[in-house]
Every structure is written in structure tokens, then in C-alpha cells.
Amino acid sequence: MKRNIITACLYTLITAVLLGLIYPLAVMGLANLMFRDQANGQLIRQNGEVVGSKILGQPFTGPGYFHSRPSAAGTGYDASASSGSNLGPTNKTLVDRIAGSVSSEKNGAQAVPVDLVTTSGSGLDPDITPAAAFYQVPRVARERSLPEEEVREIVTKHIKERQLGLLGEPRVNVLELNLALSATRP
């Protein structure tokens, strides 16, 4: 009996060290060697300073910027509180929030794209649909005193197609789009 207890304790200790320490450190080391950018959050730097991440959304509220999807994560784009709102489609709080978002994004008679007024499942989505980006072109062009065609061209250049031609949907990274816009006309 004593021998079985010692054996069980040793196996538990060895397994804990192997799977709880050595394996995670080895995977982290390999990820940093082989996929440095992805392992470190795909950070975007400008003039040596981190301005954001390609994979985490952030809020843009100024009229001269393309706006991201609303976020339900904590106080907004808080990665430690990542989640959707968990509100059902008939919940008054959700309906009122969407109605407020629609009225603030309203752009003439054109229907507001759904991703400009609804949150993503994680609340951290960095991308919007091309339709949502094109919808915002008149406002951004007017605020930056740029021709709409020039802003449309910037949006078109930043559309990322489906991965491998079939996975996901076409999308536009809002941070990259706003950085390109600021490079054109601050």
C-alpha cells in the first residue's frame, strides 16, 4: 500500500511538472521562435510606439474616424471582460441600445449596417464589414475635407478577403484603416 501511494505521488509530481511547466514553456518558446508577431499579440507600431493590435478592437468615436463595432466587453474593449451582452432580441435594454446606436450612426435614408449597431460575441472584434466601412465614407470624407472617392479607395485597399477563398467573410480592420486615413490627411 505504501509503495502504491509513493508511486502515485511521484507520477502526479512528474505529470504536473511535465504538463504544467515544461510543456507550456516549450510551446511558448516555439511560438515566439516561429510566429513572433502572432505570439506577441500582433501589435501595430507607429514611430516606435504601440498604437494597438490587429486582433483586438478599440473604440473610435471622433467624426473623422471610421467607427468600430460597439463592445459589450466591460467598459468597452476590455479584454479581461470579453463576452457578449447575453441580452436576448426582445430585451428592452438591448433594443434601446441598438435604437440609440442607429440614431447616432444614421446617414440619410440608407439603412445602417447591422455590425455598426450590434456587438460581436467577444466584444473585442477589430473588424467591420466592407458595407459598414463604405457606409461611413461620406461622414469621414466630410470631416477630413477629402473627396469621397479618395476615402472609398482607401477602404477598398484595406478589404481583406475570405481566408483561403472560403473561410470567414470579407472584412476591414478599423485600426489599420484609420491609420491609413491619418497618413493621408491627419
- Nearest by Cα to 35 from 55, 56, 58, 57: 55
Is the torsion defined by CA of 19, 25, 26, 28 positive or negative? positive
Q: Which of 2-16, 102-116, 160-174 has the lowest mean pLDDT?
A: 102-116
Distance CA 113, CA 135 (A): 8
pLDDT of residue 13: 96
48 Ramachandran zone, left/alpha/beta (phi>0; psi -120 to 50): left
> Can you tell me the mean pLDDT for 8-22?
96
Partners of residue 160 on adjacent β-strands? 171
Q: Which residue type is seen at 53?
A: S
Domain parsing of the chain, residue ranges:
2-36, 42-184
Indicate the average pLDDT of the chain. Answer: 85
3-state secondary structure string, 25-83? HHHHHHHHHHCHHHHCCCEEEECCEEEEECCECCCCCCCCCCCCCCCCCCCCCCHHHCC
pLDDT, tens digit, 9 for 90 and up, residues 114-148: 888 877 777 778 889 999 999 999 999 999 999 99
First to last CA, the chain: 76
pLDDT of residue 158: 94
Q: Are 135 and 112 in contact (CB under 8 A)?
A: yes
> Coil, strand or helix: which one is 113?
coil
